[in-house]
Amino acid sequence: MQILTEPIGSIPRPAELVEGMNAFAAGDIGPRELDILYRKALHDTIKRLESTGSPVITDGEQTKPSFATYPIHGMEQLDPNGVVIPFADGHTRQLPRLTAGPFRYRLHAADFLRTARSLTDLPVKQAVISASALSLLYPAEGIPDYPVEAFIADLLDEQEKDIRDCLTAGAHNVQIDFTEARLSLKLDPGKGLLRSFIDLNNRVLSRFTEAERKSIGVHSCPGGDHDSTHSADIAYAELLPLLFELNAGNFYLQYASEKDKRSVLEALKGSLRPGQRVFLGVTDVLDPRIESPEEVRDLILEAAEFVPLSQLGTTDDCGFSPFADDLSTSRDIAFAKIRARVEGTRLAEVALDKRQVAL
Protein backbone atom coordinates (compact mmCIF):
# COMPACT_ATOMS: atom_id res chain seq x y z
CA MET A 1 0.00 0.00 0.00
CA GLN A 2 1.56 3.29 -1.11
CA ILE A 3 1.36 6.21 1.30
CA LEU A 4 1.74 9.57 -0.42
CA THR A 5 4.23 12.01 1.09
CA GLU A 6 4.82 15.69 0.33
CA PRO A 7 6.57 18.70 1.88
CA ILE A 8 4.62 21.76 3.01
CA GLY A 9 6.72 24.37 1.26
CA SER A 10 9.30 26.63 2.80
CA ILE A 11 12.93 25.73 3.51
CA PRO A 12 15.22 28.01 5.57
CA ARG A 13 17.05 30.41 3.28
CA PRO A 14 20.86 30.32 3.27
CA ALA A 15 22.36 32.95 5.56
CA GLU A 16 24.08 34.41 2.50
CA LEU A 17 20.68 35.02 0.87
CA VAL A 18 19.14 36.57 3.99
CA GLU A 19 22.13 38.89 4.32
CA GLY A 20 21.80 39.78 0.64
CA MET A 21 18.08 40.55 1.02
CA ASN A 22 18.91 42.87 3.92
CA ALA A 23 21.68 44.50 1.91
CA PHE A 24 19.30 45.03 -1.01
CA ALA A 25 16.70 46.62 1.28
CA ALA A 26 19.40 48.95 2.60
CA GLY A 27 20.49 49.89 -0.92
CA ASP A 28 23.93 48.27 -0.57
CA ILE A 29 23.51 45.85 -3.49
CA GLY A 30 21.43 46.00 -6.65
CA PRO A 31 18.75 43.70 -8.12
CA ARG A 32 21.27 41.85 -10.28
CA GLU A 33 23.39 40.83 -7.29
CA LEU A 34 20.27 39.80 -5.37
CA ASP A 35 19.00 37.75 -8.30
CA ILE A 36 22.28 35.80 -8.36
CA LEU A 37 21.81 34.94 -4.67
CA TYR A 38 18.19 33.91 -5.30
CA ARG A 39 19.14 31.60 -8.14
CA LYS A 40 21.99 30.04 -6.18
CA ALA A 41 19.69 29.33 -3.22
CA LEU A 42 16.94 27.96 -5.45
CA HIS A 43 19.27 25.57 -7.33
CA ASP A 44 20.76 24.29 -4.07
CA THR A 45 17.34 23.83 -2.46
CA ILE A 46 15.90 21.82 -5.33
CA LYS A 47 18.95 19.58 -5.60
CA ARG A 48 18.95 18.90 -1.86
CA LEU A 49 15.22 18.20 -1.85
CA GLU A 50 15.74 15.74 -4.69
CA SER A 51 18.48 14.02 -2.67
CA THR A 52 16.09 13.38 0.24
CA GLY A 53 14.12 10.97 -1.94
CA SER A 54 10.95 13.05 -1.66
CA PRO A 55 8.74 12.10 -4.63
CA VAL A 56 7.22 15.60 -4.68
CA ILE A 57 9.19 18.79 -4.04
CA THR A 58 8.72 22.55 -3.80
CA ASP A 59 10.96 25.51 -4.56
CA GLY A 60 11.42 26.02 -0.82
CA GLU A 61 9.90 29.50 -1.26
CA GLN A 62 13.46 30.78 -1.60
CA THR A 63 12.47 33.78 -3.71
CA LYS A 64 9.18 34.61 -1.96
CA PRO A 65 9.42 37.61 0.39
CA SER A 66 6.74 35.97 2.57
CA PHE A 67 4.35 33.03 2.20
CA ALA A 68 1.52 35.35 3.33
CA THR A 69 2.08 38.63 1.52
CA TYR A 70 3.87 37.67 -1.70
CA PRO A 71 0.88 38.78 -3.89
CA ILE A 72 1.08 42.36 -2.60
CA HIS A 73 4.86 42.73 -2.52
CA GLY A 74 5.63 46.16 -3.95
CA MET A 75 2.01 47.34 -3.88
CA GLU A 76 1.80 51.10 -3.31
CA GLN A 77 -1.68 51.39 -1.77
CA LEU A 78 -0.68 49.89 1.57
CA ASP A 79 -0.25 51.19 5.10
CA PRO A 80 2.09 49.08 7.29
CA ASN A 81 -0.16 49.36 10.35
CA GLY A 82 -2.53 46.46 9.83
CA VAL A 83 -3.58 43.40 11.80
CA VAL A 84 -1.04 42.25 14.42
CA ILE A 85 -0.51 38.51 14.98
CA PRO A 86 1.01 37.69 18.40
CA PHE A 87 3.10 34.57 18.98
CA ALA A 88 3.49 32.63 22.22
CA ASP A 89 7.08 33.77 22.77
CA GLY A 90 6.07 37.42 22.64
CA HIS A 91 7.14 38.33 19.10
CA THR A 92 4.59 39.54 16.55
CA ARG A 93 4.02 39.74 12.84
CA GLN A 94 2.01 42.58 11.35
CA LEU A 95 0.05 42.62 8.13
CA PRO A 96 -0.26 45.81 6.11
CA ARG A 97 -3.57 47.58 5.57
CA LEU A 98 -5.09 48.29 2.16
CA THR A 99 -5.69 52.00 1.56
CA ALA A 100 -7.24 52.06 -1.93
CA GLY A 101 -8.61 49.81 -4.63
CA PRO A 102 -8.80 48.02 -6.90
CA PHE A 103 -7.09 45.00 -5.35
CA ARG A 104 -4.72 43.26 -7.77
CA TYR A 105 -1.91 40.76 -7.19
CA ARG A 106 1.56 42.10 -7.94
CA LEU A 107 3.28 38.70 -7.87
CA HIS A 108 1.77 35.36 -8.91
CA ALA A 109 2.59 31.91 -7.59
CA ALA A 110 2.74 30.39 -11.08
CA ASP A 111 5.84 32.44 -11.83
CA PHE A 112 7.69 30.78 -8.93
CA LEU A 113 6.37 27.41 -10.07
CA ARG A 114 7.56 27.76 -13.67
CA THR A 115 11.08 28.58 -12.55
CA ALA A 116 11.21 25.59 -10.22
CA ARG A 117 9.83 23.19 -12.83
CA SER A 118 12.58 24.25 -15.23
CA LEU A 119 15.16 22.99 -12.73
CA THR A 120 13.83 19.50 -11.92
CA ASP A 121 12.11 16.49 -13.45
CA LEU A 122 10.25 15.73 -10.21
CA PRO A 123 6.63 16.84 -9.62
CA VAL A 124 6.49 20.28 -8.00
CA LYS A 125 3.68 21.46 -5.73
CA GLN A 126 2.93 25.12 -5.27
CA ALA A 127 1.69 26.95 -2.18
CA VAL A 128 -0.63 29.96 -2.41
CA ILE A 129 -2.00 32.16 0.34
CA SER A 130 -5.69 31.86 1.22
CA ALA A 131 -8.32 34.40 0.32
CA SER A 132 -9.28 34.52 4.00
CA ALA A 133 -5.78 35.61 5.03
CA LEU A 134 -5.74 38.36 2.41
CA SER A 135 -9.21 39.49 3.48
CA LEU A 136 -7.54 40.76 6.67
CA LEU A 137 -5.90 43.51 4.60
CA TYR A 138 -9.20 45.37 4.29
CA PRO A 139 -9.59 47.87 7.15
CA ALA A 140 -12.57 47.66 9.52
CA GLU A 141 -13.40 51.32 8.87
CA GLY A 142 -13.67 50.69 5.12
CA ILE A 143 -12.11 52.47 2.14
CA PRO A 144 -13.75 55.47 0.43
CA ASP A 145 -15.07 54.61 -3.05
CA TYR A 146 -14.04 50.97 -2.61
CA PRO A 147 -16.64 49.07 -0.55
CA VAL A 148 -15.82 45.72 1.00
CA GLU A 149 -18.09 43.95 -1.51
CA ALA A 150 -15.96 45.25 -4.38
CA PHE A 151 -12.78 44.22 -2.56
CA ILE A 152 -14.09 40.68 -1.97
CA ALA A 153 -15.10 40.35 -5.63
CA ASP A 154 -11.60 41.40 -6.71
CA LEU A 155 -9.99 39.12 -4.10
CA LEU A 156 -11.94 36.06 -5.27
CA ASP A 157 -11.02 36.74 -8.90
CA GLU A 158 -7.36 37.19 -8.03
CA GLN A 159 -7.08 34.01 -5.99
CA GLU A 160 -8.92 31.95 -8.56
CA LYS A 161 -6.42 33.16 -11.15
CA ASP A 162 -3.47 32.43 -8.86
CA ILE A 163 -4.60 28.83 -8.35
CA ARG A 164 -5.76 28.23 -11.92
CA ASP A 165 -2.53 29.54 -13.41
CA CYS A 166 -0.57 27.10 -11.19
CA LEU A 167 -2.67 24.16 -12.38
CA THR A 168 -2.24 25.26 -15.99
CA ALA A 169 1.52 25.65 -15.48
CA GLY A 170 1.77 21.99 -14.42
CA ALA A 171 1.67 22.06 -10.64
CA HIS A 172 1.51 18.59 -9.11
CA ASN A 173 -1.03 20.18 -6.80
CA VAL A 174 -1.77 23.55 -5.26
CA GLN A 175 -1.73 24.05 -1.49
CA ILE A 176 -3.75 26.87 0.03
CA ASP A 177 -2.05 28.10 3.20
CA PHE A 178 -4.83 28.57 5.77
CA THR A 179 -2.78 29.03 8.94
CA GLU A 180 -5.22 31.63 10.24
CA ALA A 181 -7.88 28.93 10.73
CA ARG A 182 -6.76 27.83 14.19
CA LEU A 183 -5.88 31.40 15.16
CA SER A 184 -9.43 32.51 14.32
CA LEU A 185 -10.73 30.29 17.14
CA LYS A 186 -8.48 32.09 19.57
CA LEU A 187 -9.75 35.45 18.37
CA ASP A 188 -13.39 34.31 18.25
CA PRO A 189 -14.19 31.18 20.32
CA GLY A 190 -17.76 31.36 19.03
CA LYS A 191 -16.40 30.20 15.63
CA GLY A 192 -18.13 32.93 13.66
CA LEU A 193 -14.82 34.17 12.26
CA LEU A 194 -13.76 30.65 11.27
CA ARG A 195 -17.09 30.04 9.55
CA SER A 196 -16.72 33.28 7.60
CA PHE A 197 -13.20 32.26 6.55
CA ILE A 198 -14.40 28.83 5.40
CA ASP A 199 -17.28 30.37 3.47
CA LEU A 200 -14.91 32.78 1.72
CA ASN A 201 -12.45 30.03 0.78
CA ASN A 202 -15.27 27.78 -0.42
CA ARG A 203 -16.40 30.60 -2.70
CA VAL A 204 -13.00 30.31 -4.38
CA LEU A 205 -13.06 26.51 -4.47
CA SER A 206 -16.56 26.49 -6.00
CA ARG A 207 -15.05 28.02 -9.13
CA PHE A 208 -13.17 24.79 -9.82
CA THR A 209 -14.50 21.46 -11.05
CA GLU A 210 -14.54 18.38 -8.85
CA ALA A 211 -11.63 16.98 -10.85
CA GLU A 212 -9.62 20.18 -10.38
CA ARG A 213 -10.31 20.22 -6.64
CA LYS A 214 -8.60 16.84 -6.33
CA SER A 215 -5.38 18.72 -7.07
CA ILE A 216 -6.11 21.51 -4.59
CA GLY A 217 -5.34 21.18 -0.88
CA VAL A 218 -5.49 23.20 2.32
CA HIS A 219 -2.72 23.53 4.91
CA SER A 220 -3.54 24.31 8.53
CA CYS A 221 -1.22 24.65 11.52
CA PRO A 222 -0.91 26.77 14.68
CA GLY A 223 1.68 28.96 13.00
CA GLY A 224 5.40 28.28 13.04
CA ASP A 225 7.77 31.23 13.20
CA HIS A 226 11.06 31.62 15.10
CA ASP A 227 10.32 28.37 16.97
CA SER A 228 7.02 29.69 18.29
CA THR A 229 3.31 29.38 17.43
CA HIS A 230 0.26 31.62 17.58
CA SER A 231 -2.51 29.13 18.39
CA ALA A 232 -1.18 25.74 19.51
CA ASP A 233 -3.33 26.01 22.64
CA ILE A 234 -6.51 25.66 20.56
CA ALA A 235 -7.69 22.02 20.48
CA TYR A 236 -8.00 20.38 17.08
CA ALA A 237 -11.44 19.09 18.10
CA GLU A 238 -12.61 22.70 17.85
CA LEU A 239 -11.20 23.11 14.34
CA LEU A 240 -11.44 19.88 12.37
CA PRO A 241 -15.21 19.44 12.03
CA LEU A 242 -15.42 22.83 10.32
CA LEU A 243 -12.10 22.61 8.47
CA PHE A 244 -13.24 19.54 6.53
CA GLU A 245 -16.25 21.47 5.27
CA LEU A 246 -13.82 23.03 2.82
CA ASN A 247 -14.40 21.57 -0.64
CA ALA A 248 -10.77 20.63 -1.22
CA GLY A 249 -9.28 17.26 -2.04
CA ASN A 250 -6.26 17.32 0.26
CA PHE A 251 -5.62 18.55 3.80
CA TYR A 252 -2.16 19.09 5.30
CA LEU A 253 -2.24 19.09 9.11
CA GLN A 254 0.37 19.76 11.78
CA TYR A 255 0.44 16.65 14.00
CA ALA A 256 3.92 15.59 15.19
CA SER A 257 4.16 18.44 17.71
CA GLU A 258 0.71 17.77 19.19
CA LYS A 259 0.88 16.59 22.80
CA ASP A 260 -2.40 14.63 22.80
CA LYS A 261 -2.17 12.83 19.48
CA ARG A 262 -4.91 10.32 20.16
CA SER A 263 -7.52 13.04 20.60
CA VAL A 264 -6.43 14.50 17.27
CA LEU A 265 -6.88 11.15 15.56
CA GLU A 266 -10.30 10.68 17.12
CA ALA A 267 -11.38 14.15 15.96
CA LEU A 268 -9.96 13.42 12.53
CA LYS A 269 -11.83 10.11 12.27
CA GLY A 270 -15.11 11.87 12.88
CA SER A 271 -14.42 14.76 10.49
CA LEU A 272 -12.71 13.37 7.37
CA ARG A 273 -15.16 12.98 4.49
CA PRO A 274 -15.07 10.44 1.62
CA GLY A 275 -12.89 11.65 -1.23
CA GLN A 276 -10.65 13.73 1.03
CA ARG A 277 -7.05 12.83 1.87
CA VAL A 278 -5.23 14.01 4.99
CA PHE A 279 -1.47 14.45 5.02
CA LEU A 280 -0.40 14.28 8.67
CA GLY A 281 2.71 16.10 9.82
CA VAL A 282 5.22 13.51 11.05
CA THR A 283 8.19 15.83 11.67
CA ASP A 284 8.14 18.70 14.17
CA VAL A 285 9.66 21.66 12.33
CA LEU A 286 10.12 23.69 15.55
CA ASP A 287 12.17 21.00 17.32
CA PRO A 288 15.86 20.79 16.30
CA ARG A 289 15.92 17.09 17.19
CA ILE A 290 15.85 14.99 14.02
CA GLU A 291 13.24 12.24 14.14
CA SER A 292 14.35 8.72 13.27
CA PRO A 293 12.63 6.93 10.37
CA GLU A 294 11.38 4.37 12.89
CA GLU A 295 9.76 7.11 14.97
CA VAL A 296 8.03 8.44 11.87
CA ARG A 297 6.90 4.93 10.97
CA ASP A 298 5.30 4.44 14.37
CA LEU A 299 3.38 7.72 14.10
CA ILE A 300 1.98 6.56 10.76
CA LEU A 301 1.04 3.11 12.02
CA GLU A 302 -0.91 4.65 14.89
CA ALA A 303 -2.68 7.04 12.52
CA ALA A 304 -3.58 4.14 10.21
CA GLU A 305 -5.77 2.75 12.98
CA PHE A 306 -8.04 5.80 12.60
CA VAL A 307 -7.66 6.93 8.98
CA PRO A 308 -8.26 4.66 5.95
CA LEU A 309 -4.98 4.06 4.16
CA SER A 310 -6.49 5.32 0.89
CA GLN A 311 -7.02 8.68 2.61
CA LEU A 312 -3.72 8.91 4.52
CA GLY A 313 -0.54 10.72 3.54
CA THR A 314 2.43 12.28 5.34
CA THR A 315 4.02 15.71 5.40
CA ASP A 316 5.96 18.02 7.72
CA ASP A 317 4.12 19.89 10.46
CA CYS A 318 4.52 23.29 8.76
CA GLY A 319 6.87 25.06 6.46
CA PHE A 320 10.34 25.25 8.00
CA SER A 321 10.74 28.98 7.45
CA PRO A 322 7.62 30.71 6.13
CA PHE A 323 9.11 34.19 6.57
CA ALA A 324 12.37 35.00 4.82
CA ASP A 325 14.08 36.31 7.96
CA ASP A 326 13.48 33.17 10.05
CA LEU A 327 16.83 31.41 10.56
CA SER A 328 15.80 29.53 13.72
CA THR A 329 16.11 26.17 11.93
CA SER A 330 19.19 25.27 9.91
CA ARG A 331 18.95 24.04 6.35
CA ASP A 332 20.80 20.85 7.26
CA ILE A 333 18.25 20.01 9.96
CA ALA A 334 15.34 20.76 7.63
CA PHE A 335 16.63 18.43 4.91
CA ALA A 336 17.45 15.71 7.47
CA LYS A 337 13.90 15.86 8.81
CA ILE A 338 12.49 15.60 5.30
CA ARG A 339 14.65 12.57 4.63
CA ALA A 340 13.40 10.99 7.88
CA ARG A 341 9.81 11.61 6.75
CA VAL A 342 10.40 9.96 3.40
CA GLU A 343 12.25 6.95 4.85
CA GLY A 344 9.78 6.57 7.71
CA THR A 345 6.86 6.61 5.29
CA ARG A 346 8.47 3.81 3.30
CA LEU A 347 9.01 1.80 6.50
CA ALA A 348 5.34 2.23 7.34
CA GLU A 349 4.36 0.94 3.91
CA VAL A 350 6.45 -2.20 4.48
CA ALA A 351 4.96 -2.76 7.93
CA LEU A 352 1.40 -2.31 6.66
CA ASP A 353 2.01 -4.66 3.73
CA LYS A 354 3.23 -7.29 6.18
CA ARG A 355 0.05 -6.84 8.22
CA GLN A 356 -2.04 -7.37 5.11
CA VAL A 357 -0.16 -10.59 4.30
CA ALA A 358 -0.61 -11.83 7.86
CA LEU A 359 -4.35 -11.30 7.58
Cα–Cα distance measured from residue 15 to residue 36, given in angstroms and rounded to the nearest whole number: 14
Q: What is the pTM of this model?
A: 0.94
Closest CA to 181 of 134, 140, 242: 242
> What pLDDT sits at residue 7?
96
DSSP conformation letters of 247-289: --SEEEE--TT-S-HHHHHHHHHHHPPTT-EEEEE-S-TT--S
> What pLDDT sits at residue 358?
66
Domains of the chain: 4-358 (3.20.20.210)
> What pLDDT sits at residue 221?
86
Q: Give bridge partners of residue 128 from the DSSP assignment.
A: 176
Cα–Cα distance measured from residue 325 to residue 12, given in angstroms and rounded to the nearest whole number: 9
Please give the average pLDDT of every successive group of 10 residues along the chain, which has 359 residues: 92 93 93 95 97 97 88 92 80 88 96 97 97 96 97 98 98 96 91 97 98 97 76 86 97 95 94 96 95 98 96 95 76 97 98 78
Amino acid at 241: P
Cα–Cα distance measured from residue 113 to residue 124, given in angstroms and rounded to the nearest whole number: 7
Closest CA to 324 of 10, 75, 4: 10
Nearest-5° Cα angle at 146, 95 to 83? 15
DSSP conformation letters of 124-176: B-EEEE-HHHHHTTS-TT--TT--HHHHHHHHHHHHHHHHHHHHHTT-S-EEE
